[in-house]
Structure 1
């Protein structure tokens, strides 16, 4: 059961939609042009219901099948990134400093393609809820849509999502049961000492020495406080202090990221970091404040739904082209909030060679759109076959 012929027939339409969206990238929740374009296409297709204004610019559209059944949620994100585009394509961003560098324009095109086909055929029972979501990159749009009640309001039973992945072989699917993407936390440590002349350090309370010691101590959380077999990351990514070679500054700042796959490890790292900051501050005689921000949770696929999704993917692209036990990815994804509310699965779709995600030369591979759209359709049709 390969790519659906009818979907292949309007692959050019999906490319046109995607490239138009690529020209009008928008950030976070403020995506009025993108939302308007999506709504226009859904109205053209003849979906049964369109509910907009969710999480400001999010949309949920309903397609009714033939006969009673559950509602299956299919999600596409549609926000862009604050990056200056360097692709040189003739459909490049017309919004300076903003571009679709993660393929959300392509995710939207795939879901629109699936919607067009399912409106035409309705070869399923129950309903499909098409979830078009803003603010994946920043703001947690999935969380906001859930907080505004989409799961209960539309009686969504299960939910599924796809993300394109450059560098993975074209047209292959990768997923796994359990955690597939990490929780992401951010920390900032502000250190206050007493500055002075670099030639007279004994008259100062040096925040730089304290900062260096804190960075080294924080790294021991991974090596000495967590199990060696666990996947977890602490990266210090910024240290800022000072303004001249002969001045010891008053303050220093440390910034970084934490990636974990289970709540116990996440909580342990936060606890130990607070203890280290407090202890190191006392030992160096500085004041230090830790601002630890808990971000997106881990994206955790449920076993039954993941197994089913992998089976459907295999029928679309061939079993040999599906890895159902892929290694976890330390990146984060706010689809996690939807999976906390409902069972479901998140899958990566290989895009072949090309610039990586979040790179100014990245460009979505339009040739995978029929693959993703076919997967969405077959998932629904096989999960809820049409009632005779």
Structure 2
């Protein structure tokens, strides 16, 4: 594994940064302390062009290379999750009900490590835009807001890259694929209104519980009967809320769920079928039902040329046998999609070895892979914008 020597030399500092961040998780757009920590480190490195307050707490910092050239963007997400941590490690979250269960503390650390090295060496032309983003875990997505607030144009970013840690993959294994790598995500809400009454006299009611059950059953047929079995689609009902006692037929019920797609035409088919199913089931059970669909993150689609280039760089860092370029696409979603819609680039996973999965209360980022990710980011810049190119 060809980790850059200088980055390996300050690996202990990176571990300290990451564990500091892990102890102080922040949610959504409220990454004030995290952003302040990032800015403090960047200034220590000697970076002077730092813009804060983008998408509320986002940060973009620019490192000038040696001579004119393009600008490459490197992105890390900063926010945590509303999960109570159970790792028991000394650096566990000090904020009840919040923890870095998705490795964003590690992502931020890897980009800080690359920033320190690139500022010291400046062995590249043009500029590097370091993008520290809030609210990846929650809509509308910090990536979307940062793009809408014009970071690509303001900083002249021409291509953009991101890494995500992946437990269960071998330590130091890079994996990616050209084209779609993560799904689009939509959320549906169904509010059902019937007529409540005594559980002993259901004939005097219009039962929203039975209607909700019928709707849930019918929704399952979207995947099984309206969609090609060899294509990727998930429609999951994840919440049903209704009722207050065993002898009361309630007045209302609520059904909620998620839609995961890759193709826009499949997404539209699901929306149409949901509308038809809810209207039909409401009529069948004599209740009223209102469907609301929130369109969330689009599919994360890697650009072929940039994905191939990133894989070459990953091979230089971890070795060619530690790079997988045909990773099976994920049904999870990622707001880096908005950045890839705005500029060509690539999204890669970096294996961190065995351990609890992402979004698990026992998850902890593996500090041993931070220098690997930082070396990848640094070499990406040096290879994309070489001094002798």
The answer to whether the superposition gives a TM-score over 0.5 is yes
Partner of 2:327: 326
Alignment of 1:67-82 (within 5 A): 67-82=67-82
Partner of 2:89: 89
Distance in 1, Cα, partners of 2:88 & 2:245: 41
> Residue 190 of structure 1 contacts residue 289 of structure 1 at CA under 8 Å; is this kept in 2?
yes
TM-superposed CA distance for 1:387, in Å, is 3.3
Say if 2:55 is the partner of 1:58.
no
| TM-score normalised by structure 2 residue count | 0.97
SS in 2 for 1:187: strand
Distance in 2, Cα, partners of 1:58 & 1:248: 48
> Residue 72 of structure 1 contacts residue 158 of structure 1 at CA under 8 Å; is this kept in 2?
yes
Partner of 1:29: 29
Deviations 1:122-179 (A, max 9, x none): 1111110000011111130011111110000001000000000111111101101111
Distance in 1, Cα, partners of 2:357 & 2:133: 22
- The answer for unaligned runs of 5 or more in structure 2 is none
> Residue 65 of structure 1 contacts residue 124 of structure 1 at CA under 8 Å; is this kept in 2?
yes
TM-superposed CA distance for 1:353, in Å, is 0.9
Alignment of 1:9-24 (within 5 A): 9-24=9-24
Distance in 2, Cα, partners of 1:266 & 1:176: 22
TM-superposed CA distance for 1:316, in Å, is 0.9
TM-superposed CA distance for 1:48, in Å, is 4.2
Deviations 1:104-123 (A, max 9, x none): 11101100000111111111
- Tell me whether 87-96 or 252-261 shows the greater mean CA deviation: 87-96
- Tell me whether 12-21 or 79-88 shows the greater mean CA deviation: 79-88
TM-superposed CA distance for 1:223, in Å, is 1.7
TM-superposed CA distance for 1:299, in Å, is 0.7
Partner of 1:342: 343
Alignment of 1:100-111 (within 5 A): 100-111=100-111
> Residue 48 of structure 1 contacts residue 64 of structure 1 at CA under 8 Å; is this kept in 2?
no
TM-superposed CA distance for 1:98, in Å, is 1.4
Partner of 2:213: 212
> Residue 67 of structure 1 contacts residue 387 of structure 1 at CA under 8 Å; is this kept in 2?
no
- Tell me whether 246-255 or 161-170 shows the greater mean CA deviation: 246-255
Alignment of 1:1-388 (within 5 A): 2-139=2-139, 140-387=141-388
Distance in 1, Cα, partners of 2:372 & 2:296: 32
> Residue 51 of structure 1 contacts residue 60 of structure 1 at CA under 8 Å; is this kept in 2?
yes
| TM-score normalised by structure 1 residue count | 0.98
Distance in 1, Cα, partners of 2:129 & 2:339: 13
Distance in 2, Cα, partners of 1:166 & 1:355: 7
SS in 1 for 2:153: helix
TM-superposed CA distance for 1:244, in Å, is 2.4
- The answer for unaligned runs of 5 or more in structure 1 is none
Distance in 1, Cα, partners of 2:199 & 2:97: 41
Q: Give the alignment's Cα RMSD to 1 decimal.
A: 1.2
Distance in 1, Cα, partners of 2:41 & 2:245: 58
Distance in 2, Cα, partners of 1:86 & 1:79: 18
Distance in 2, Cα, partners of 1:279 & 1:197: 26
> Residue 66 of structure 1 contacts residue 387 of structure 1 at CA under 8 Å; is this kept in 2?
no
Distance in 2, Cα, partners of 1:264 & 1:343: 23
Distance in 2, Cα, partners of 1:320 & 1:219: 41
Distance in 2, Cα, partners of 1:56 & 1:241: 37
Deviations 1:61-91 (A, max 9, x none): 1111112211000000011111122111212
- Tell me whether 120-129 or 90-99 shows the greater mean CA deviation: 90-99
